[in-house]
Amino acid sequence: MAFPGLQHIAITVSDLQRSTEWYTRLFGAGPVLDEDEEGGEFHHTVFALGGGMLFGLHTHHGKETRDRADERRTGLDHIGFAVESHAALAGWARKLDELGISHGGVKKAHYGSGVSFRDPDNIALEFFAGPE
């Protein structure tokens, strides 16, 4: 049996409104779902990305935190978004510039190249293309 691909990612954010606005700008579209989950323990705001992938923002009721993400702690290191080419990476670097989102420029390695940036909670994100 083949192992299935990813269907969704959900991250916990400290300020749902700020993060929703930031990700709406990044994704170029608003959320497709914005509601408390049935048990009432958390709220989720969900974006639909290409290929049927969903990207969710969560806040947990009664458990607010102002901690910033740190990939050196156990948990999430970063989220990588696949792009088709190195030319597309350069295009995404320009798009991030237009949005006023700082990034590290295109970094090349033998296994592929990427453009790294961070969301308002310091969660590490990356556009990544495999080797050409």
Which tens digits make up the pLDDT trace of 2-39? 878 889 999 999 899 999 999 999 999 999 999 988 87
Query: Cα(81)–Cα(89) distance, rounded to whole angstroms?
Result: 10
pTM value is 0.89
Query: Cα(13)–Cα(123) distance, rounded to whole angstroms?
Result: 9
Other CB atoms closer than 10 Å to residue 61's CB: what's the count? 12
Number of domains making up the chain: 2
Query: Same structural domain for residues 30 and 57?
Result: yes
**Cα 36 from chain centroid?**
21
State the residue range of the domain holding 50: 1-61
In this structure, is residue 72 part of a structural domain?
Answer: no
Q: Would you state the pLDDT for residue 66?
A: 72
Of 105 and 61, the structure prediction assigns the larger pLDDT to 105
Q: Which residues contact 47 (CB under 8 A, 6 or more apart)?
A: 23, 24, 27, 29, 30, 31, 32, 54, 55, 56
Query: Same structural domain for residues 92 and 49?
Result: no
* CATH code, domain carrying 87: 3.10.180.10
Of 98 and 73, the structure prediction assigns the larger pLDDT to 98
Would you say residue 105 has pLDDT above 90?
A: yes
In this structure, is residue 106 part of a structural domain?
Answer: yes
Which tens digits make up the pLDDT trace of 51-81? 999 999 999 877 667 778 888 888 889 999 9
Average pLDDT over residues 89-101: 97
